[in-house]
Amino acid sequence: MQAQEKSTLSDWFATPAGEYVLRWEQAQFDSAVEDVFGFNAVQVGLPQCDLLRRNRISLRTRVGTDPAADLRADSGALPLASGSIDLVILPHVLEFSADPHRILREATRVLMPDGQIVISGFNPLSLCGLRRALGPGRKEFPWCGRFIGLLRLKDWLQLLSFELNGGRFGCYAPPFAQAHWLERSAFMEKAGDRWWPIAGGVYVVRAVKRTLGMRLVVPNWRSQPAPAKALSALTQSNHHRTGTED
């Protein structure tokens, strides 16, 4: 009898609940990366999804251990030169790693000064977090992940000299498996944004790498104002109210 293949996070994103999350995240990544310029951009993880599609950097590479990746490599040991990348995105990479600190340090290493990083993750203080804590199937994706609270992630980024410059919560509906129940819960998106903005099932944040004592000479386009974008700045009050991982 042939053994059943182990499911992956990409498999979950093909389910109704996963598609609901991916649609929202794709829009946030589109907004977060469209005004980042440079020469090299790297997506680490989920190579089946082109989350750099709206970015205008000419050399965009998807890295991972999956056959769909452009570059097969471990996310904690990137075969890239230090200070060579302008943009790194980490879609749900940290929470499914045994050593998320190593991945963040590696992303920091390859980013050039003033390079940007965009990270998505599941929010432990949400209905998704409650489903993970109390529901069955904790060995299945995405419930097998170690959800990281935004406040904790912010602390990790600050230790690595990153400065947050945008972020947003979303996906407030319960993680129903059936598409029609998700459609009936669509009203919760606007209600969640207004009444409980830090309780979204997932978040996407962007941060810039700051290097003390360095002054960069950059092309004139860097000094131009960026266009308005949906990925808004996180307020200080949200930072203090956001929880940590369970």
Domain assignment of residue 246, yes or no: no
| The pLDDT value given to residue 169 | 97
What DSSP designation does 14 have?
Answer: T
pLDDT at 244 over 90: no
The range of the structural domain enclosing residue 29 comes to 9-241
Mean pLDDT confidence for 99-118: 98
**pLDDT category, 4, cuts 50, 70, 90?**
very low
Mean pLDDT confidence for 16-23: 95
**Beta-strand pair 40-44/162-170:** unpaired
Q: Could you tell me the CATH number of the domain that includes residue 162?
A: 3.40.50.150
Domain assignment of residue 193, yes or no: yes
What spatial distance separates the first Cα and last Cα of the chain, rounded to whole Å?
Answer: 39
pLDDT at 238 over 80: no
What DSSP designation does 185 have?
Answer: T
| The pLDDT value given to residue 190 | 85
pLDDT at 28 over 60: yes
Cα–Cα separations (whole angstroms), residue 37 to 40, 59, 113, 223: 9, 11, 13, 11
- H helices of 78-142, in order, are 100-110, 127-134
**pLDDT category, 233, cuts 50, 70, 90?**
low
List 207's β-bridge partners, or say none. 117, 164
Domain assignment of residue 202, yes or no: yes
Domain assignment of residue 129, yes or no: yes
pLDDT at 164 over 70: yes
Domain assignment of residue 2, yes or no: no
Domain assignment of residue 3, yes or no: no
**Could you give the number of structural domains in the chain?**
1
User: Pick the residue with more confidence: 63 or 195?
Assistant: 63
φ and ψ at residue 58, rounded to 5 degrees = -70, -40
Mean pLDDT confidence for 228-237: 54
**pLDDT category, 186, cuts 50, 70, 90?**
confident
Domain assignment of residue 48, yes or no: yes
**pLDDT category, 184, cuts 50, 70, 90?**
confident
pLDDT at 65 over 80: yes
Residue position matching structure tokens 């000419």: 58
Total number of residues shown for the chain: 246
Mean pLDDT confidence for 24-39: 96
Closest by CA to 50, choosing from 36, 64, 61, is 61
Percentage of the chain with pLDDT > 90?
A: 68
| The pLDDT value given to residue 213 | 60
Domain assignment of residue 220, yes or no: yes
